[in-house]
Structure 1
Amino acid sequence: MNYRERVKEWLDSAIVSEDLKTEIRSIDDEEELKDRFYRDLEFGTAGIRGIVGVGTNRMNEITVARATQGLANTIIKRGQTAMDRGVVIARDVRHMSREFSEIVVRVLAANGINAHIFNDIRPTPMLSYAVRYLGTISGIVITASHNPKQYNGYKVYWEEGSQILDDIANEIQEEIEKLKFEDIKILDYKSTVVSGFVHVIKSDLDISYYRKTLSKSINDDIDKDICVVYSPLNGTGNKPVRYVLAERGFTNINVVPEQENPDPDFETVGYPNPEDVNAFEYSLRLANEIDADLIFATDPDCDRVAMLAKKSEGDYYVFNGNQTGVLLTYYILNSLYERNIIPFNGAIVKSIVTGNLAKEIAESMGVTVFETLTGFKNICALPNLWDRTKEYKFIFGYEESIGYVYGDHVRDKDGVISSMMIVEMAAYYKKKGKNLIEVLEDIYKEFGYFKEDLTSIVLEGIEGQERISRMMEFFRKSEFSGFGGIKLEEKIDYIRGYNGVGPSNVLIYHLEDGSWFAVRPSGTEPKIKLYVYSKDENEEEAVRKVKDIKEDVENKLYSVN
């Protein structure tokens, strides 16, 4: 079906609202119309994500209803017990999140599937916890995570509390592809309310989540007066993060007032991604006013967190995701080691594009490190497996894109517990007379200087997608002798899987001196990513290697038209 046929189908359908039809008719740019209807949004990293608006390639009431009917059909095939267990639904602060969550409930109820809903916004990790706590067959969170304000999304979880893997995603996608408009079952609002299939979640779930999170704290001999600036970036993290830190006894947590309350327009930040240092403009302003020791921010759905720490000379150091993961690994494992409570079969999980310093730290303390494809659906697949086999005990998981989880009560990256552990860690070392920059330097001196860089080349629209494909194909087929003046040792193509890790569109190049880099398209955004890593006993040399490799690879990428 071409885009014009899809347009006609929408205009002729009774299920498409008059508002959406009016929006279609108002589009007088043919290329714009084509971009909106040339394809269907497909399940990527555990769901769909896109710009809000009319069209099969946009997030709207119809794409949400179709996705939910596909999920409902998948659940119905598993029988009445699965339908009775039902689905738990959470939402963030974005435009249309409330409306999309209501569509989800209306479709589930129409299909005789129990729907458990929160009474307000919640962080994504609380959705993961809710699946496990309530014992539902599935979960849905309406969120676009850290994307700009015009985006929204729909992430699906399965009964273990982690995002769906490819087998379930493909099954749902197959069900969606079979659907005609008349196959979508949806109740009107009044019928949904009296259906008996809708259940508002009680506060005992929140209390249980907070207790589990607080139980993971390790040290109490810390400086609880440490001066901290926190920004929830106008998202869902404000109340949960502040509650947990208050319960831990921290007395000097200062929230950025302009970014405290929910704002779907993210007026003070624009791109609400704490991985981007520009998101810290207001936080840095406040931190300089009050001489804060630590700054951290969570993204709008509070599953990611990034931090800055004050240097001895007065300004602030920006930690990247690898460095924060290394510090948390070092702090958590050393603290457990000192108490002699590291599990004999303890394990850490990281993604294949995440740096290797944490691996060396963990292995020095007898902890096994596993690698998976990017995405916490893959990272948490291993603790899900170990729940059954008991072969390993999951301690910590992370990836370089500022996602971390400590403990096993949440099966996704968790900005709430990560925030608690970051503040605890900073307070612990402050009591010992050190800031986090000094701790990181101590780690480098012990294990070597590990340096890294991430480049994202954004290429939007149909042409952008096609160019990203050509870039990957060019690298896949080309025979390179080296990069940045360093000889190539090994090229690994994950397109069919490698060394126990499943298939993915990722290329990794190992160089002769131990440096390496990876190239992959993003699963959720219109960009191709380049990850560059080096290691050297000399810091300046490690930095130089990253720079030279990055420039060489970028030039080759940009040469592809």
Structure 2
Amino acid sequence: MKIRFGTSGWRAVISDQFTFSNVKIVSQAIAEYVKKMGGKTLIVARDTRFMTEHYAQLVAQVLAANGIKVLMPENPTPTPVVSFAIRHYGLSGGINITASHNPPEYCGIKFNPADGSPASPEITKQIESLIEKIDESKVPMMSIREASAKELFEIFEPRADYMKAIAKKVDLERIKSAGLKVIADLLYGTAAGYLDDLCKSICGDFEVFHNYRNPYFGGGRPEPDETRLREFAERVKNRGWDVVVATDGDADRFGIVDDTGDFVKPNEVIALLAHHLYKNKNLKGPVARTVATSHALDAVAHTFNEKVIETPVGFKFLAATLLSENVVIAGEESGGLTIQNHTPEKDGILACLLILEMMAYEKKALSEIREEFRRNYGEFFNTRIDFELKDEKEKQELLTKFKNIKDYLSGIQITDQDSVDGMRYFFDRPGAWMLARASGTEPVVRIYLEAKDTSTLQSMITAIRKLSR
């Protein structure tokens, strides 16, 4: 069995591949990489999944035995807080025991190097190479008691400093003066004690749901998508709430429902916040998005005479732009974003607070802000179609058909194409494009589509349905 890191760390099913033995091996590989880079101290955190405190302790025992000091928060900790801690305290990196928004049977290990960003492909390849050479029976271990005595283990809490940093990025006083009525759904994840505590102090009225640990996440994946947040639609409309904000299991993704009960797609949220940051906060610099993310963000940037940086899918690629360019906002369609002078990692807590800040600045309902955006920039209709296939053979067959997408199109023509990440086509209709990306870890093909009118979008969807038969 080969252990492979995906777009955001190594994830596997608990007791299948995610075992104590494999956790020891991965921990040793990371320890060897960190030592090779001259590192000395890591933060080791965890989310609210089953057994994460035990996995985190095991990681700490391996790191300590390698002479690496471990700083461990006592409570489940958001991924963005891990990234913040690395940079704020000048650490050599961090490990978070998390599977983010994956179903409850999964767990994972996410590694961030000394710059706080998600580990790049170059780094994870080195770690994977080290993994293949490690004999689990020879991995050293040190008890937490011994590690503490040798000053190689310490319980510490980055929460207060993270909250202070957030207060410098978001105008909490302005939000407080707006008297917003807010619902938060924390999906039993690590935002508990962070987003709910902040909202209690700044919202005119506030109600929180699922702000406690439940390793089963209420019977589904802890992802703040339209399906999961549907339960709040009627509550918002009937009881006069202004907005629903939500985060995923490790608080790096966000979900938003407006005052009419309508789910606001991440693609739209990113563009709305870009407009807010340029217009209301006078920030300067480019925006960054992945190839799978809506071009609504491009329209905003161009209006403010700023450029757009496009990257492959994966926040690690966006993080590189944050570290090298003065990016105002970086986002991806799967619900992750961060902003200028913040951590180079997705931050769902920050995203939710920025929505409240935008509403406070505009002094309008979120539905009104959305309508005004459409009047200024036009509409962007987008969707994603996932094909879960039987095996790699079926996956390749579908991709081969996609190469000949022109055979399935009716009424629209391809004008350009590229392969930045997957296969992407541009069409002879305003803002129309289509992208197919194959998963690197499972037999899944994801197809992203966008157009400026519904008829063009429907033509593209029809073509995809035809080729999938």
Q: Same fold (TM over 0.5)?
A: yes
- CA-atom RMSD in angstroms: 2.1
Who is 2:6 aligned against?
44
The separation in 1 between residues aligned to 2:444 and 2:335, in whole angstroms, is 18
Who is 1:135 aligned against?
90
Who is 2:221 aligned against?
271
The one of 519, 526, 531 equivalent to 2:436 is 519
Q: For residues 170-209 of structure 1, what are the alpha-carbon distances to aligned partners after superposition, in whole Å with 9 as ceiling and x for unaligned? A: 11111011122334222345444444311222x4x32221
Q: Summarize the Cα distance change of 1:484–1:319 in structure 2 as closer, same or farther, 3 Å threshold.
A: farther
Contact 2:2 2:132 (C-alpha < 8 Å) held by counterparts: no
Who is 1:492 aligned against?
418
The separation in 1 between residues aligned to 2:144 and 2:94, in whole angstroms, is 21
| Residue type of the alignment partner of 2:434 | F
Q: Summarize the Cα distance change of 1:114–1:322 in structure 2 as closer, same or farther, 3 Å threshold.
A: same
Contact 1:51 1:152 (C-alpha < 8 Å) held by counterparts: yes
Q: Summarize the Cα distance change of 1:78–1:405 in structure 2 as closer, same or farther, 3 Å threshold.
A: closer
The separation in 2 between residues aligned to 1:523 and 1:283, in whole angstroms, is 34
The separation in 2 between residues aligned to 1:100 and 1:403, in whole angstroms, is 26
Who is 1:417 aligned against?
350
1:152 aligns with 2:107: yes
Deviation at 1:139, TM superposition (A): 1.0
Contact 1:228 1:295 (C-alpha < 8 Å) held by counterparts: yes
Q: Summarize the Cα distance change of 1:254–1:105 in structure 2 as closer, same or farther, 3 Å threshold.
A: same
Deviation at 1:530, TM superposition (A): 1.1
The separation in 2 between residues aligned to 1:129 and 1:395, in whole angstroms, is 18
Q: For residues 124-180 of structure 1, what are the alpha-carbon distances to aligned partners after superposition, in whole Å with 9 as ceiling and x for unaligned? A: 100000111121222111111111111111111111100111111111111011122
The one of 199, 213, 225 equivalent to 1:262 is 213
Q: For residues 342-400 of structure 1, what are the alpha-carbon distances to aligned partners after superposition, in whole Å with 9 as ceiling and x for unaligned? A: 33xx12111111111111111211222211111111101112124xxxxxx22211111
The separation in 2 between residues aligned to 1:142 and 1:554, in whole angstroms, is 39
The separation in 1 between residues aligned to 2:37 and 2:242, in whole angstroms, is 52
1:74 aligns with 2:33: yes
Q: Summarize the Cα distance change of 1:485–1:183 in structure 2 as closer, same or farther, 3 Å threshold.
A: farther
| Residue type of the alignment partner of 2:268 | Q
Which stretch has the larger CA shift, 397-406 or 439-448?
439-448
Deviation at 1:288, TM superposition (A): 5.0
Which stretch has the larger CA shift, 278-287 or 93-102?
278-287
The one of 215, 240, 243 equivalent to 2:197 is 243
The one of 360, 364, 367 equivalent to 1:437 is 367
Q: For residues 202-248 of structure 1, what are the alpha-carbon distances to aligned partners after superposition, in whole Å with 9 as ceiling and x for unaligned? A: x4x3222111111112485566322111100111112101222344x
The separation in 1 between residues aligned to 2:409 and 2:356, in whole angstroms, is 39
The separation in 1 between residues aligned to 2:88 and 2:419, in whole angstroms, is 39
Contact 1:109 1:195 (C-alpha < 8 Å) held by counterparts: no
Higher relative CO (Cα under 8 Å, sequence separation at least 6) belongs to 2
Q: Secondary structure at the match of 2:280?
A: helix
1:507 aligns with 2:418: no
Q: For residues 56-103 of structure 1, what are the alpha-carbon distances to aligned partners after superposition, in whole Å with 9 as ceiling and x for unaligned? A: xx2111221111111111122234xx2x2x211111000121111111
The separation in 2 between residues aligned to 1:438 and 1:482, in whole angstroms, is 39
Q: Secondary structure at the match of 2:178?
A: coil
Residues 25-174 of structure 1 correspond to what in structure 2 (within 5 A)?
39-54=1-16, 58-79=17-38, 82=39, 84=40, 86-174=41-129
Who is 2:259 aligned against?
310
Contact 1:218 1:335 (C-alpha < 8 Å) held by counterparts: no
The separation in 1 between residues aligned to 2:44 and 2:61, in whole angstroms, is 12
Residues 156-235 of structure 1 correspond to what in structure 2 (within 5 A)?
156-201=111-156, 203=157, 205-218=158-171, 224-235=178-189
| Residue type of the alignment partner of 2:328 | I
Percent identical: 25
Q: Secondary structure at the match of 1:486?
A: coil
Q: For residues 493-526 of structure 1, what are the alpha-carbon distances to aligned partners after superposition, in whole Å with 9 as ceiling and x for unaligned? A: 23xxxxxxxxx4x111111214101111245666
The separation in 2 between residues aligned to 1:444 and 1:282, in whole angstroms, is 26
What's the TM-score once normalised by structure 1's chain length?
0.79
Q: Secondary structure at the match of 2:102?
A: coil
Who is 1:398 aligned against?
331
Who is 1:10 aligned against?
none
The separation in 2 between residues aligned to 1:481 and 1:469, in whole angstroms, is 18
Contact 1:396 1:406 (C-alpha < 8 Å) held by counterparts: yes
The separation in 2 between residues aligned to 1:48 and 1:529, in whole angstroms, is 20
1:377 aligns with 2:316: yes
The one of 312, 319, 323 equivalent to 2:264 is 319
Q: Summarize the Cα distance change of 1:446–1:92 in structure 2 as closer, same or farther, 3 Å threshold.
A: same
Who is 1:550 aligned against?
461
Q: For residues 307-346 of structure 1, what are the alpha-carbon distances to aligned partners after superposition, in whole Å with 9 as ceiling and x for unaligned? A: 11123xxxx1111111111111111211023xxxx33xx1
The separation in 2 between residues aligned to 1:72 and 1:467, in whole angstroms, is 39
| Residue type of the alignment partner of 2:257 | L
Deviation at 1:279, TM superposition (A): 0.9
Deviation at 1:466, TM superposition (A): 4.2
Deviation at 1:115, TM superposition (A): 1.3
1:252 aligns with 2:215: no
Q: Summarize the Cα distance change of 1:178–1:227 in structure 2 as closer, same or farther, 3 Å threshold.
A: same
Q: For residues 272-293 of structure 1, what are the alpha-carbon distances to aligned partners after superposition, in whole Å with 9 as ceiling and x for unaligned? A: 2112x22124434643563212
Who is 1:16 aligned against?
none
What's the TM-score once normalised by structure 2's chain length?
0.93
Q: Secondary structure at the match of 2:61?
A: helix
Contact 1:41 1:49 (C-alpha < 8 Å) held by counterparts: no
1:347 aligns with 2:286: yes
Who is 1:283 aligned against?
232
Q: For residues 245-296 of structure 1, what are the alpha-carbon distances to aligned partners after superposition, in whole Å with 9 as ceiling and x for unaligned? A: 344x22312112xx121111112x5222112x22124434643563212112
The separation in 1 between residues aligned to 2:24 and 2:396, in whole angstroms, is 30
